[in-house]
Amino acid sequence: MILEQLSISSLRNLRAVDLSLGPRFNVLYGDNGAGKTSVLEAIHLLSHGRSFKSRNPAHLIRRGESELLIRGQLTDADGRWRMAVLRSAEQMRLRLNGRDISRPSEIAARLPVLVIHPGSFGLLVGSRGERRAFLDWGVFYQQPAFRGLWRRFNKLLKQRNAALREGLPARWVDCWDGPLAEAGEEIGRLRRAYLASVVELAPAILGRFDPALELSIRYLSGWAADKPLLTQLQEMKPSDRARGFTQAGPQRGGFSVQLDGQPIAEVASRGQLKLATIAFKLAQIEVFSRSVGRGCLLLLDDLDAELDQRNFSIFLELVGSLGVQVVSTTLHPEKFDRWKAEEKRLFHVEHGEIEAVV
């Protein structure tokens, strides 16, 4: 999968930008505030329907404009795909090969995008929801049935929660328990298997940076490990009624990480957290390539500023071996000289204008 063309209109300080991207390494350089990260946001928005930096769509739209437009063209084994996102402060319109679509997941299925940015380094110590999102990104591509399964589970969960909040008779709550538990157990099984595939690869990658850094990972299903989910739902029903929502299930799942037998948040340095997060992300890319049989698009936001020279060189070598398309931002393009010139395209970004460097 290669994203070949990218057009951006009215996103932050980018008025009108058209880029022809290379199949391997694309490096955007320029001063802070020039608009480099906005290009990465545009690609993420095209794939996910949202930015990785801001939750408020209004903050993305160029001042004085009412909407932004992002268009892309990619080629994969199934042919050529044209996609577009039109985003105003109130609504979003999506198109794929000339037809309107309702879900960003239809584009995401064609344009798999992973991003590593300064905020990514909270993955292992932030909320459990961040780690759920990490798992679900991988399962989404590894198991196509997961998309419908996750939608079904969330619909059932909303119905059960509504019955709890409204104080409906027990039989109304009971009728959701079986189907909810069945879907929840399957989601848990898929997540556990996916995490195992990542954990199998991550230690070797982490060892390239620091052989002494050893992590232990524990999967968290979101309900008691020694009980079926259905049993847990039934046992917690009085408490669920009091709180007005379902407390057990994959919506509470994730995983925990320990270093030297202690929670990683309590003992790891910021540098160790960065390296561990990068190892998990690169393992995720490798699992994707092995299980799906194609590459994804990797976005890197000023990562050379986050790593020392030695670890950044190792990182470039590891990324180069993955064979994926990369779009990276930097203040110092010379730091990417390790990548072959014939595989690399440079773009200079200044005051929202982007020029390919020949």
Instruction: Identify whether 117 is part of a domain.
Output: no
Report the C-alpha gap between 344 and 56 in whole angstroms.
33
Amino acid type, 96: L
What local confidence, expressed as pLDDT, does residue 170 receive? Answer: 84
Instruction: Identify whether 18 is part of a domain.
Output: yes
CATH number at residue 164: 1.20.1050.90
What range defines the domain where residue 72 resides? Answer: 1-112+295-358
In the numeric block, the tokens 């109304």 are attached to 172
Same domain, 159 and 219: yes
Same domain, 307 and 275: no
Report the C-alpha gap between 163 and 158 in whole angstroms.
9
Instruction: Identify whether 179 is part of a domain.
Output: yes
Mean pLDDT calculated for residue range 77-104: 95
Amino acid type, 108: A
Give the model's confidence band at 116: pLDDT under 50 very low, under 70 low, under 90 confident, else very high: very high
Same domain, 183 and 71: no
pLDDT at 358 over 80: no
| Residue range 304-357, pLDDT digits in tens | 999 999 999 999 999 999 999 999 999 999 999 999 999 999 999 999 999 999
What local confidence, expressed as pLDDT, does residue 260 receive? Answer: 84
| Residue range 27-54, pLDDT digits in tens | 999 999 999 999 999 999 999 999 999 9
Same domain, 80 and 137: no
Which positions ≥6 away from 178 have C-beta within 8 Å?
230
Domain count, the chain: 2
| Residue range 213-235, pLDDT digits in tens | 889 999 999 999 999 999 999 99
Same domain, 100 and 143: no
Collapse the DSSP code of 89 into the 3-class scheme (helix H, G, I; strand E, B; otherwise coil) and give the result.
Answer: coil
What local confidence, expressed as pLDDT, does residue 36 receive? Answer: 97
What local confidence, expressed as pLDDT, does residue 156 receive? Answer: 97
Same domain, 173 and 26: no
Instruction: Identify whether 55 is part of a domain.
Output: yes
CATH number at residue 302: 3.40.50.300
Mean model confidence pLDDT for the chain: 95
Same domain, 139 and 251: yes
Domain end point (choices 237, 271, 293): 293
pLDDT at 207 over 90: yes
Instruction: Identify whether 67 is part of a domain.
Output: yes
Percent pLDDT > 70 in the chain is 100
Same domain, 148 and 257: yes
Same domain, 278 and 130: yes
Collapse the DSSP code of 74 into the 3-class scheme (helix H, G, I; strand E, B; otherwise coil) and give the result.
Answer: strand
pLDDT at 258 over 80: yes
Same domain, 27 and 169: no
Give the model's confidence band at 168: pLDDT under 50 very low, under 70 low, under 90 confident, else very high: confident
Same domain, 19 and 88: yes
Amino acid type, 286: E
Instruction: Identify whether 147 is part of a domain.
Output: yes
Report the C-alpha gap between 72 and 262 in whole angstroms.
45
Instruction: Identify whether 351 is part of a domain.
Output: yes
Which positions ≥6 away from 247 have C-beta within 8 Å?
236, 239, 240
Whole-number Cα distances in Å, 107 to 42, 73, 349: 14, 11, 27
Domain end point (choices 243, 275, 293): 293
Q: Are 221 and 212 in contact (CB under 8 A)?
A: no
